[in-house]
Structure 1
């Protein structure tokens, strides 16, 4: 099932992401509507997996990622800009290893001018759309498909990415810790992402600003280990300084024309 959120629901998500937990009464005052109206909004958000109910209010899910269909609709404008910035760096004839996640999906979708690409991915959403591009080669690993996310994880995925040395490795993350450590929701997600990082000539991390401080609990890698970061807005100052010292290229889409 695909969920489409209203503008108010997106604002509710943004406020909960910022505050951690917000009451129904607070939202009613913020938006000038009845508590019943807010309850309908948050009930839909909870049904989509975007929020979790607590006594008197809502909070972000603490241990699981949002449904893929829900993540597609979040921060779509930012992800499109990030995808366009990524696409500007990719020449025709390139090879790419691409991770799970919606930001990489936006990025591959933005490769409209490129021809003769080879795309290796464990993200079936990306694989299916890439198959429609004339002249592209698409390869996926074997294994069970994860329901809802439509991706493949496991040791065979790591072995799959390790069999190739591609021009570009592109991936997103579940979250970023205060010190720049990369976070995801399962060990298998981290292992697949790290396999991409190890087996590419240039690594590109795609993320929007909501990933900073977002709760995800499996550590794996650090932002300073990638070659380039593309984000929709400025990074936290300590992380930006760390990446500058490490020689990581940082591209901010709001600064681009």
Structure 2
């Protein structure tokens, strides 16, 4: 995935934002031939990042992008969210952290905090945390999903249930119009709920592309959270509803 060109990364980000892109429109955007764009998207499709449809490409149906593809998307937004998150986490804190690329960005922003305890089923986060002097790291047992480098299943829910931590930190696959939190599998939802139930402060890290994004497993609601950190203003219906019930919302400022 790291071998994708800058144009391929931009194509992936455009499709992630609008769901579909035609070959002709993409060729016009970049001022190149349709054949050149077809070569770009063929590589993206071969890597599982996109799916070919008649005349263009779209996101894979009913499933999430591969982790390394997701990590490339909306990097500026995720960095801003991570920076804002770090301001809420003092040294000496304990954190339960979910799968996902936005939580990974956020934990990396804590590198200057000391004496943290990190519980996570995201091995990308665990490996980073292991390199931080003075941090302690715990992970559950079980089979690793190779593409995502994470662990899911009932043992993960039991693992998070054995601790009470200061912060439960997670992202989501999407947010429905009614504020329901969505993900791509029941195991993902179950792990996130286990984190939320066993923390003193639940934190949703949410890049704004997740509003209205299609994911098919329901679990949790914006109103059940303590803190939402997003890179852009929430849609009005969500903002007003969360204000009424005093859920804290932080809009992260873009970082240089």
Give the TM-score, by structure 2 length.
0.95
Deviates more, 1:215-224 or 1:247-256: 247-256
By how many angstroms is 1:11 displaced?
A: 3.6
Number of residue pairs the alignment of both structures matches: 256
**Residue 225 of structure 1: how far off its partner (Å):** 0.8
- Partner secondary structure for residue 253 of structure 2: helix
1:27-85 deviations in whole A, cap 9, x for unaligned? 22232211011112211222232211011211111211111111111111111111111
The answer to whether the 8 A contact 2:9-2:72 is kept is no
Check the 8 A contact 2:80/2:255 in 1, yes or no.
no
1:183 has 2:185 as partner: no
| Aligned residue in 2 for 1:161 | 160
Structure 2 match to 1:28: 27
Is the Cα contact below 8 Å between 1:208 and 1:233 reproduced in 2?
A: yes
Question: In the alignment, what sits opposite 1:135?
Answer: 134
1:87 matched to 2:73: no
Conserved in 2, the CA contact under 8 Å of 1:5 and 1:73? no
Report the alpha carbon displacement of residue 103 of structure 1 after superposing the two structures with TM: 0.6
**Structural mapping, 1:53-68, within 5 Å:** 53-68=52-67
Contact 2:76 2:254 in 1 (8 A): no
Which residue number corresponds to residue 209 of structure 1?
Answer: 208
Distance 1:164 1:220 in 2: 21
Number of the residue aligned with 2:171: 172
Query: Structure 1 residues 98 and 23, CA, compared in 2 at 3 Å: closer, same or farther?
Result: same
**Equivalent in the alignment of 1:97:** 96
Report if the CA contact (8 A) 1:62-1:215 is conserved: no
Cα deviation per residue 1:170-229 (whole Å; 9 max; x = unaligned)? Answer: 000111111211111100000000000000000100011111122211111011111011
Q: TM-score, normalised by structure 1?
A: 0.94
Q: Distance in 1 between the 2:16 and 2:67 partners? A: 18
The residue that corresponds to 1:242 in the other structure is 241
- Provide the alpha-carbon RMSD of the alignment: 1.7
Tell whether the 8 Å contact from 2:13 to 2:74 is kept in structure 1 after alignment. Answer: no
Q: Does structure 2 retain, via aligned residues, the 8 Å contact 1:4–1:73?
A: no
Pair 1:249–1:141, CA change in 2 (3 A): same
User: Contact 2:19–2:59 (CA<8 Å) still a contact in 1?
Assistant: yes
State which drifts further: 231-240 or 5-14. Answer: 5-14
After superposition, the Cα gap between the structure-2 partners of 1:4 and 1:70, relative to the gap in structure 1 and judged at 3 Å, is farther
Q: Which moved more, 1:18-27 or 1:117-126?
A: 18-27
- Cross-structure match for 1:112: 111
Runs of 5+ unmatched residues, structure 1: none
Query: Offset of 1:18 from its aligned partner?
Result: 4.3
Distance in 1 (alpha carbons) for counterparts of 2:212 and 2:3: 25
- Answer yes or no: is the 8 Å Cα contact 1:62–1:216 preserved in 2: no
